[in-house]
Amino acid sequence: MPRNKGRRGRGESSIYEKRRRWKTRDGSVREKVQWVAVVSEGHDDKGDVKAGKRRRRRKFIYADSKQTAQQKLLKYLGKHGGSSAPTDRSPFAEFAGRFLEDARANLSPNTARSYEQVLRLHVLPQIGRLRLDQIDASRLRRLYSELRRDGLSASLVARVHVTLRRVLNVAKREEHIETNPLDRVDAPTYKRPPARAMTVEQVEALLRAARGHRLEALFVLGVTTGMRQGELFALRWDAIDLKRRTLSVTHSVQEIEGELKRIEPKTDTSKRRIELSKMATDAIERRRLVAKGEEHDSPYIFPSPTGTLLRKSNFLRRVYFPMRAAAGISDAVPFHALRHTAATMLLLQGVSPRVVQELLGHADVRLTLGTYSHVLPTLQRQAADALDQLLGSGSKREIVGTKSVQRRTPRIRKPAKS
């Protein structure tokens, strides 16, 4: 008995590729490729109704590309009351490739490269051959279990989850799938370790070790502004206004396939103006004097010895690691700890998290609060102590704006004895 194939219900649709070849009079073979969208419109009564056979009614929509066919199909469904999104029968690997092309065009190189590595190494070998409509919640849960069984760290499995969610959200937005199956999958548990900051003593020791070095100001800016390493390497002299004591962050240095590139950040919050401390401006002034005596005339404040962009690996090996050792700081403390140190010290000094967010270039204050959540208990204790000072004494105070005005308790004079 032949196998009964499931039929599409009314309003359901699909898209497929159709190739037609023919010979011309000169004997050559020509080919035309079309994309066909098919919509099931139920059945009519023109078949043999008594025998239980009715003729299926279908609408065929033709286009030169798959994207155009999808657009025409969605327009038709919207006009005729269709409720079903077209079923994309292409493999997940094909859609992931298109996703990565868009990522390279619209995201930072590092972000696009991270997505590419996660998909290539951990996702496509497992589910790349599946169609988009075949990827469900149970298959994704099994994927995470397989990755953990293969020895992937919790942080890497969490990266896989974030990347997959981004890809499938795009597929849903473009209506290749109706829902994101990850909405029914719990995110892999991963507790990010708290941002590690240096102590005040370590910072002082590191700055002493850097004193007199041609890149001393880089360390000072790192700990006073919290700038990212790539942002420091990309700084040019025209971004500094020493009279106004300001600095403009407009670019970052990234290494792409072995080549250093100075690129603009993709988010507006990463482009920012920073108010400089006197300590920072003094260090930059000293750096300017040193730069005048160097053989090259580099536009960069912190160039390589030859005046070109500074490479991260060279800086760490030749400058930071020796200075860290000279300062007696553990090898486990990365240069990025200077950024965490700047943020932590400012928060502990009572600076608003919103101001710290703007200084660091975070896209959202929630990222700042999440990264430095370990500092919050200390801030809460400081807030409680401040309220004690303001309200806990026996004197009466009236709060006016941000100032507290102490008022004396009026004396009550007893009436004179007659």
Reply yes or no on whether the pLDDT at 363 is more than 70: yes
Q: For domain 92-184, is the CATH number 1.10.150.130?
A: yes
Q: Are 167 and 312 in contact, with CB atoms under 8 Å apart?
A: no
Mean pLDDT (whole number) for 224-247 = 95
pLDDT at 80 (0 to 100) = 60
Number of CB atoms found within 10 A of residue 357's CB: 20
CATH 1.10.150.130: which residues of the chain? 92-184
The CA distances from residue 154 to 70, 113, 117, 193, 248, in Å, are: 38, 20, 17, 12, 37
Residue 31 banded pLDDT, cuts 50, 70, 90: confident
Residue-level pLDDT at 108: 83
Q: Is pTM, for the whole model, over 0.75? A: no
Average pLDDT over residues 44-65: 65
Helix, strand and coil content of the chain, in percent to the nearest 5, comes to 45, 15, 35
On average, the pLDDT of the chain sits at 82
State the Cα–Cα distance between residues 141 and 72, nearest whole angstrom.
35
* CATH superfamily entry for domain 200-375: Intergrase catalytic core (1.10.443.10)
The residue among 6, 53, 59 whose CA lies nearest residue 36 is 59
Beta bridge partners of 59: 39
Q: Where in the chain is the domain with CATH 1.10.443.10?
A: 200-375
Q: How many residues does the chain have?
A: 418
DSSP structural state of residue 194: P
pLDDT at 416: 55
Strand partners, 39: 13, 59
Tokens of 135: 């990827």
Mean pLDDT within 250-267: 87
| Dist CA 207 CA 324 (whole Å) | 10
Give the whole-number percent of the chain exceeding pLDDT 90. 46
Instruction: Report the DSSP beta bridge partners of residue 353.
Output: none
**Average pLDDT, stretch 102-124?**
91
Q: 170: number of CA atoms within 13 Å, CB side?
A: 15
- The residue-averaged pLDDT of 318-345 equals 94
Q: What band does 280 get if pLDDT is binned at 50, 70 and 90?
A: very high
Q: Which of 281, 291, 276, 279 is nearest to 214 (CA)?
A: 291
Q: Which amino acid is at 145?
A: S
